[in-house]
Structure 1
Amino acid sequence: MKTMEMELQKVHMIRLEKGEELLSSVLQYVKEKNILAGYLTGIGALGKGKIGFFDTKSKKYLHIPFNEVELLACTGNIAKNKDTQEPVAHIHIVLGDIDGKCLGGHLVEGIVSVTAEIYLVETKPGIFRTKDEDTGLYLLNPKN
């Protein structure tokens, strides 16, 4: 187990509008505000997009497309990639379709169909993602 203590800094409210892409919009905001670390939660509605499921055998994300869904839950974290120094928004979502069926996974892309209401909580100090040799993924490294 790796841990670190962080302090809450500021709460940002982000309301995305029809046609905006969820993941890239969050990343754009994070860059503009120079947010080094944080976590987020949100709800809304998405038109089309893709979620991912990480296959531990192939060590690759499998993509699952979706269309016209409610964004029932959106949760994730913000950190910087240690190698590139670029911000990373690692977001998971749960979606509901017209029949009430749910689908969830790693957000790859999602176009807002009505709105997406996101609360982003900025924390300090910053935190990095470093490459895990076993999975090939960039994982949070709490002690930096």
Structure 2
Amino acid sequence: MLVFRITPGKDLKNEIGSIQKKNNLEAGIIIGAVGSLQKAALRLADEEIIDIEGPLEIICANGTVSPEGIHLHLAVADKTGKMTGGHLKEGSLVNTTVELSILEYEGTFKRIMDPETGFKELVILN
């Protein structure tokens, strides 16, 4: 398992991409992230992208990472406890810290365009 601390002001999605490259990670499962964000950029289920101003606490984060991309779902709570969740987009900036845990998978993850969904979907190679 790989564990990292992402520091204030960093873009969460970009930092995960940097971690993937630096560690030559062919297949990883993001099993959690604990910390806070200054703001979050999320794609909702209807594909609308929203920006949420913080401070925000990360409540839940999980997904996959490969050389072909990051697929992370994130739930955050604002100062009143209201939660919002969606697909992580660039522009989600760390507030005080994010402690990120990635479990390495002993295969390879690829993302291939699926004509049925219109998205690059996960293909698992062993």
TM-score, with normalisation over the residues of structure 2?
0.91
Q: Distance in 2 between matches of 1:125 and 1:141?
A: 11
Q: Distance in 1 between matches of 2:110 and 2:122?
A: 6
Partner of 1:4: none
Q: Give a deviation string over 1:21-50, Cα, whole Å, max 9, x none.
A: 101001111011110001111111000131
Partner of 2:52: 66
Q: Distance in 2 between matches of 1:32 and 1:116?
A: 18
Shift of 1:76: 0.9
Q: Distance in 2 between matches of 1:48 and 1:90?
A: 19
Q: Distance in 2 between matches of 1:143 and 1:117?
A: 28
8 Å CA contact retained: 1:128, 1:141: yes
Unaligned runs of 5+ in 2: none
Aligned length: 123
Q: Distance in 2 between matches of 1:118 and 1:63?
A: 23
8 Å CA contact retained: 1:42, 1:118: yes
Partner of 2:12: 22
Unaligned runs of 5+ in 1: 1-10, 56-60, 81-86
Partner of 2:64: 77
Bigger Cα Rg: 1
* Letter of the structure 1 residue corresponding to residue 124 of structure 2: P
* Displaced runs of 4 or more, over 4 A: none
* Letter of the structure 2 residue corresponding to residue 44 of structure 1: G
- Give the RMSD, CA atoms, in angstroms: 1.4
Partner of 1:12: 2
